[in-house]
Amino acid sequence: MVKEIASADEYAAAVKSGKLVVVDYFATWCGPCKMVAPKFALLADKYPDAVFLKLDVDAFPEIAEQAGISAMPTFQLFKEGARVGDDIIGAKIDAIEQQVQQFIA
């Protein structure tokens, strides 16, 4: 299941989770974001031991800025509060899955 972030506090707590956290930074007006969303949801179902989140960059511009987001969609992975792996910019679902597999253990 993919959870959409509803507050800055929720985001801060989520990325500090002990689990692997995958964040999709998106915008409602972004075509590629809409295209990749169902595939991202399938990854969430395939990897239930990871947490999959969506963050609307227009609703939370301060978080997007702190995360260095300059294009949508951008995906970042976190483990125990630290970023792991590389930022994935664009609807590159295979690259997202590769990083999930690498860091989920």
Distance CA 59, CA 28 (A): 10
CB 76 within 8 A of CB 87: yes
User: Annotated catalytic residue: which of 15, 27, 33, 72?
Assistant: 33
Residue 79 phi, psi (nearest 5) = -145, 120
Alpha helices in 16-103 (DSSP H): 31-46, 61-66, 93-103
39 is catalytic: no
20 is catalytic: no
User: Annotated catalytic residue: which of 20, 21, 23, 30?
Assistant: 30
Burial of 104 (0-12, 13-18, 19+ CB in 10 A): middle
* Catalytically active residues, by annotation: 30, 33
